[in-house]
Amino acid sequence: MAKKVLVAMSGGVDSSVAAFLLKEQGYDVVGAHMKLWDYVEVGGDIYKDGRCCTIDSITDCRVVCDAIDAPFYVLNMSRHFRDTVIEDFISEYDKGRTPNPCIQCNSNVKWTEFLRKAEELGCDYIATGHYSFIEQGENGRWSIRKGVDVTRDQSYVLWGVSQDALSKTLMPLGGLLKSEVREMAHKYKLRTADKAESREICFVLDDDYRRFLIEMAEKNDKSYVPGEIVHADGRVLGQHKGTAFFTIGQRKGMGISHPTPLYVQIIDIENNRVVVGDNDTLFKSELVADSLNWIAIEPQSEPFDALVKIRYLHDPSEATVIPQGDGSVQIKFKDSQRAITPGQSVVFYDDQTLLGGGLIVS
Amino acid sequence: MKQIYLDHTATTPVDQEVVDVMIPYLSKVFGNASSAHNFGRDAKVALENSREIVAAHINCEPSELYFTSGGTESDNIALMGVAQKYKSKKHHLLVGATEHHAVLETAEFLHNKHDFKLSVIPVDVDGFISADSINKLITEKTFLTSIMLANNETGTIQNLKPLVDATHAKGALFHTDAVQAIGKIKVDVKELDVDLLSLTAHKIYGPKGIGALFVKQGVRMEPLFYGGSHEKKRRPGTENIAGAVGLAKTLEIAQRRMDADHAMLLELSEYFIAKVKALLPDVYLNGPMTNRIPQTVNLSFQGVEGESLLLGLDLKGVAVSSGSACTSGATEPSHVLQAMGIDKVISQGALRFSLGRSTTKDDLDYVISVLPEVVNRLRDMSPIYNK
């Protein structure tokens, strides 16, 4: 009997083609759209195009599934998403960190709750439209390798996926270029062929996370406390409306005038201060990370060299990863890196293969 | 794979007899019923004949019946239309806690955006409302009470007359959404003594897009739409003649079959409930065993999510619904079951099986044969179900 796979469909071209390819390969395909949030909760304009979780994108998924003769369902996971991803997003900013909600979503919603739903439906696998390969290595571990189209690589946000979950995951687009995927969508007349993609935070519709934090705070009778913006040399330069509205390396939106450009260096929540300084002082060669998850390799106890990436749009840089024995790692870069940001993820690669990752603490 | 449709409370296929009478009005008799010429007159005659038939079915005057696009529109016109008319004198309305969203959300809109005062009438564990509950909430400022005749999720048939009396005693009007009752049980506006009543065709083997609103002679209201004198200005827009003809035929057939259908559906649903309960532990019927529209069977399967069960059954070719079709995608368990005070966890495991004219014992036996496998698989995976 054909293996059954639940394809996570956003309404975009990638997941549409993923579903199509799996069907071609003989899988028993079921399409599903995760409804993760609602406009009533997160604010924003219901009539804005091009996002997942809108009625229009659900319709797109439905039409694509109909075209490939696959059942399609909307899975309501909004409560789960709110309790994990959105809560974490808000509380991380409260802690002076800069969260990456896509990673939380992958680790705690897609590869947990969605996988559970798939198993409930009697599916053997889940599948996504990521441009990566999933392979089992000689050591028996499941790894994620960057796809042929490295410009579409999203492995950075996949470091938190468990081994068990990876063993049940298919990513059929690993061997394709984005242009080929679009071509294929055109050829087979999938209606999502020309859809634009979005890379922003899906539940912050206007890309203004500060507006989002303020609205959510108002709903919860919470307020952000104003404080001082100070120079690293001790001078008070101005006022801020809450430390949550800042991220390391930020230059704009501080409302202070200074003869030289200033950048956020430290978010000091204990003293409710934002410390700023020159660009040079943003460069550091070390970081500490915890909450580790190992992908291609067993949990390590000895130092090893790797290519290390500290944010989504960062070129992997040479470094040594030094396990600390307490579950955290210290990372020493060959060259110092700009704006190492607590709350962001640090991910280790061996060439194209994802070895593991963690959350930056300091 | 077998395909079994058990979602007749969401909608039904159109009876062939209804299709046949509609066809000429989609092609040959195409005139605009408001036109003065012969083409218009033919359409107008069909419209008025249909109005007479529908009016007779609910025992009102044809002049008291207004065609609309269906239940949601009828509910909207009733609530908003009366509210607009009365707002200078009265500003309070009462709605049942288990109403369809067409009533609830309209009432909330009046409350949130137009400063009307809104009271929600509580229901008991089977979904029934007592006249006492109305007496506690109603005031001299109340202009309208809206309570459905039969509930779409549980099939609960409300005993309306005492509720209407309690409402009239304070000088307020009474509206009922009879969408799930019409054609299935006797609906007589004079016996019920209601002032406004909503009905639709597609729940009883008629076409989608046609319904009606009964407005008792003397009730004053504002229209929702403007743009013509159709339906005596209460619902302007070129009349849907084929729809009206279809609605009339739908009700004729429903009248003719009512007793036989009722008996057949009662027998089948009782058989189904008994079988499922015998096969699986921890299954509960939501709503009453009697005073229920027999086709609507709402069962809770403890320890599973209704949504997961629905999808599992769909993959076996069985079409059912969790909650109402209009709320799929909602985060919270059904507002109807919550209002009935049913435990949240049990509400989440609720599934609505709704039988219809074409349902056979064989169909139900097939469902009964696949249901345990799906339920047991979900219960095995459930973190909250203790075997």
- What residues of chain A lie within 8 A of the CB of B313, using their CB? none
- What one-letter code names the amino acid at B178? A
- A118 and A228 share a domain? no
- A301 and A243 share a domain? no
The structural domain count of chain A equals 3
Over residues B62-68, the mean pLDDT reads 97
The pLDDT value recorded for residue A254 is 81
* Spans of all domains in chain B: 4-12+258-381, 16-252
**Residue A210 falls inside a structural domain:** no
- A121 and A239 share a domain? no
The answer to whether B4-12+258-381 and B16-252 have equal CATH topology is no
**Residue A152 falls inside a structural domain:** no
pLDDT tens column, B105-156: 999 999 999 999 999 999 999 999 999 999 999 999 999 999 999 999 999 9
**Total residues belonging to chain A:** 362
The pLDDT value recorded for residue A240 is 92
CB atoms within 10 A of CB B73: 21
Residue A130 has pLDDT above 90, yes or no: yes
What gap in Å lies between CA A146 and CA A351, rounded to an integer?
A: 9
- A23 and A120 share a domain? yes
Interface predicted TM-score (ipTM) of this complex, two decimals: 0.77
* C-alpha angle B86-B91-B94 in degrees, rounded to nearest 5: 105
- A264 and A289 share a domain? no
B296: Cα separation from own chain's centroid: 11
CATH number for domain B16-252, candidates 1.10.20.10, 3.40.640.10, 1.10.10.10, 3.20.20.140: 3.40.640.10
The pLDDT value recorded for residue A222 is 87
- A271 and A350 share a domain? no
- What residues of chain B lie within 8 A of the CB of A38, using their CB? 331
pLDDT tens column, B184-215: 999 999 999 999 999 999 999 999 999 999 99
Query: Where does the pLDDT of residue A351 fall: very low under 50, low under 70, confident under 90, or very high at 90 and above?
Result: very high
**Residue A159 falls inside a structural domain:** no
- A95 and A62 share a domain? yes
Across the interface, do A76 and B307 touch by the CB < 8 Å criterion?
yes
Shortest distance between the Cα of A58 and any Cα of chain B, in A, equals 11
Across the interface, do A120 and B315 touch by the CB < 8 Å criterion?
no
Contacts by A164-168, CB closer than 8 A, 24 or more apart: A165/A111, A165/A112, A165/A115, A166/A111, A166/A134, A166/A142, A166/A295, A167/A136, A167/A142, A168/A115, A168/A118, A168/A124, A168/A125, A168/A126
Q: What is the CATH number of domain B4-12+258-381?
A: 3.90.1150.10
**Residue A165 falls inside a structural domain:** no
Over residues B272-300, the mean pLDDT reads 96
Interface test with B, best of A1, A40, A121 (most B CBs within 10 A): A121
* C-alpha angle A330-A334-A337 in degrees, rounded to nearest 5: 80
- A124 and A245 share a domain? no
Cα dihedral A3, A6, A11, A12, rounded to 10, equals: -60
**Residue A158 falls inside a structural domain:** no
- What residues of chain A lie within 8 A of the CB of B381, using their CB? 116, 119-120
The β-bridge partners of A306 are A319
What gap in Å lies between CA B158 and CA B153, rounded to an integer?
A: 13
What gap in Å lies between CA B291 and CA B159, rounded to an integer?
A: 9
- A181 and A61 share a domain? yes
Interface test with A, best of B311, B347, B375 (most A CBs within 10 A): B311
Comparing A221 with A123, the larger pLDDT belongs to A123
**Domain containing A329 — which CATH number?**
2.40.30.10
- A254 and A350 share a domain? no
- A78 and A176 share a domain? yes
The pLDDT value recorded for residue A45 is 64
Q: What is chain B's mean pLDDT, rounded?
A: 94
Shortest distance between the Cα of A181 and any Cα of chain B, in A, equals 29
The torsion angles phi and psi of A336, rounded to 5 degrees, stand at: -70, 150
The pLDDT value recorded for residue B326 is 44
The torsion angles phi and psi of B107, rounded to 5 degrees, stand at: -65, -40
User: Which tokens belong to A150?
Assistant: 């490295």
What gap in Å lies between CA B244 and CA B54, rounded to an integer?
A: 9
**Residue A14 falls inside a structural domain:** yes
**Domain containing A236 — which CATH number?**
2.30.30.280
Residue tagged active-site, from B258, B319, B326, B346:
B326
Instruction: Note down the domain range covering A316.
Output: 284-360
Over residues A99-114, the mean pLDDT reads 93
**Residue A136 falls inside a structural domain:** no
Over residues B304-319, the mean pLDDT reads 92
**Residues in B lying within 8 Å of A, measured between beta carbons:** 307-308, 311-312, 314-315, 328-331, 377-378, 381
Shortest distance between the Cα of A78 and any Cα of chain B, in A, equals 7
* C-alpha angle A56-A59-A63 in degrees, rounded to nearest 5: 140
The pLDDT value recorded for residue B152 is 96
- A51 and A114 share a domain? yes
Across the interface, do B330 and A75 touch by the CB < 8 Å criterion?
no
pTM of the model: 0.85
Name the DSSP letter for residue A2. Answer: P
Question: Which residue from A35, A74, A120 is facing B381, i.e. has the nearest CB?
Answer: A120
Q: What is chain A's mean pLDDT, rounded?
A: 90
pLDDT tens column, A34-72: 988 877 677 766 565 445 667 778 888 899 999 999 999
Quote the strand ranges of A16-148, DSSP E: 28-35, 72-76, 125-127, 132-136, 142-146
Across the interface, do B329 and A119 touch by the CB < 8 Å criterion?
no
Query: Where does the pLDDT of residue B332 fall: very low under 50, low under 70, confident under 90, or very high at 90 and above?
Result: low
